Structure 1
């Protein structure tokens, strides 16, 4: 299982953006104050984050194309958190405008890329523009589910789940060998540890669990040495911005 090619990624970004827009449009009046699925965050916090990360990834591309690098967020993780807290209490209409503008900025930045520009070096993850494009895809798709407006992980397509299996392999502890058995799809092994756990179920449920989200189809089953067992613990999500020390 692999991530989409740079040529295929823009179409996925546009589909994800359309789904996010539809989810935001379903938020009722006053619903921005309700809880998202993320602990401690209202929908307002989440919408502020979505606008912030879209703008942050857009400027990675904009600077990169000029041969310059810039940190993901001004002020690093502290700057990110301050910006979210300041914007979280905005009105629903303000959130909709901010998210729409940020998403369009990000899509325009990636749509403008030439074939040879996807491998341009950027500061984000000490990587290339393609890495930022994959990150935008993750942010749009996963946070659409986090808004809790009727579009959960069960809507994630196979290509996205495949990408998550690759990206989130870093969450498998060193001592664990995780064998994923998505229904009607080939099995996949993540990790090389000595303790083998088999996780079976719908592909979207497995991807949601790996992403730290609640599986929406209640299909997961974990086994070890043929016996039922608890789902194994996972390492933290691989962050693109280090916490300040």
Structure 2
């Protein structure tokens, strides 16, 4: 909750002075304006609120009204809103989803939801990720080097699904414990171990498909410098485990 609350407040603070021209300008995501990003975040917030509202009654529902097609349509239609309309829509959506999470009892965090065939806690972590990462995507002066150690540690675990078969990543973030992602399945050849060294925020940004802010990353295999491996798609494009 603390992570979601802080991330929502940071997003609202950094968009409060955007003009109509600003929201029509490109974001850091290919082919998306800032308006696309803002419409997407509002849609995720409303969708996650729906997850919790249905979970309270023992039911599950799709994250987006209309599924993936409904999601894409809502983003395209919402992207052209004025800056003031974006702020109103986003504030309403964030208020709705945060109120839903604030109202949970301890046992409610384990209620099933449809999002990745998980539970409410998975939805909370997803909301935290969406708010933090998409604030950097807006290109409003916030970079990945602002991500907290706790957030980076969370991304290391969640984004382990992006490690390709046959690769074992040994993450060696400065000031944090090493972490190993990926392994060989029984009966498969041993994986190639690649060590990735650098600031935790740079490693997390790379795993998330974003550009590292500090440029500290170095990759090594068998003591030789190598290129960073090509990662699999974001976990939403992969089957839920």
TM-score of Structure 1 vs Structure 2, range by shorter chain? over 0.9
Post-superposition CA distance 1:186-221 (Å, at most 9, x none): 111000141111111000000000000011111111
Taking the aligned partners of 1:199 and 1:75, their CA distance within structure 2 comes to: 40
1:67 to 44, 49, 58: 58
Deviant stretches of 4+, over 3 Å: none
SS at match of 2:43: helix
Q: How far did 1:26 drift?
A: 4.5
Q: How far did 1:27 drift?
A: 2.7
SS at match of 2:170: strand
Q: Is the 8 A contact 1:23 1:147 kept in 2?
A: no
* Structural mapping, 1:152-163, within 5 Å: 152-163=143-154
Taking the aligned partners of 1:74 and 1:12, their CA distance within structure 2 comes to: 26
5+ residue gaps in structure 1?
1-9
Taking the aligned partners of 2:202 and 2:17, their CA distance within structure 1 comes to: 24
Is 1:217 matched with 2:208? no
Taking the aligned partners of 2:105 and 2:89, their CA distance within structure 1 comes to: 27
Taking the aligned partners of 1:155 and 1:32, their CA distance within structure 2 comes to: 22
The answer for the alignment partner of 1:112 in structure 2 is 103
Q: Is the 8 A contact 2:198 2:216 kept in 1?
A: yes
Structural RMSD (CA): 1.3
Q: How far did 1:78 drift?
A: 1.0
Is 1:195 matched with 2:186? no
2:228 to 224, 228, 231: 231
* Structural mapping, 1:1-245, within 5 Å: 10-193=1-184, 194-239=191-236
Q: How far did 1:184 drift?
A: 2.0
Query: What TM-score do the two structures reach when normalised by structure 1?
Result: 0.92
Larger RCO (CA within 8 A; separation ≥ 6): 1
SS at match of 2:12: helix
Query: What TM-score do the two structures reach when normalised by structure 2?
Result: 0.94
Q: How far did 1:240 drift?
A: 7.0
Post-superposition CA distance 1:127-165 (Å, at most 9, x none): 111110010000000001111101111110011111100
The answer for the alignment partner of 1:4 in structure 2 is none
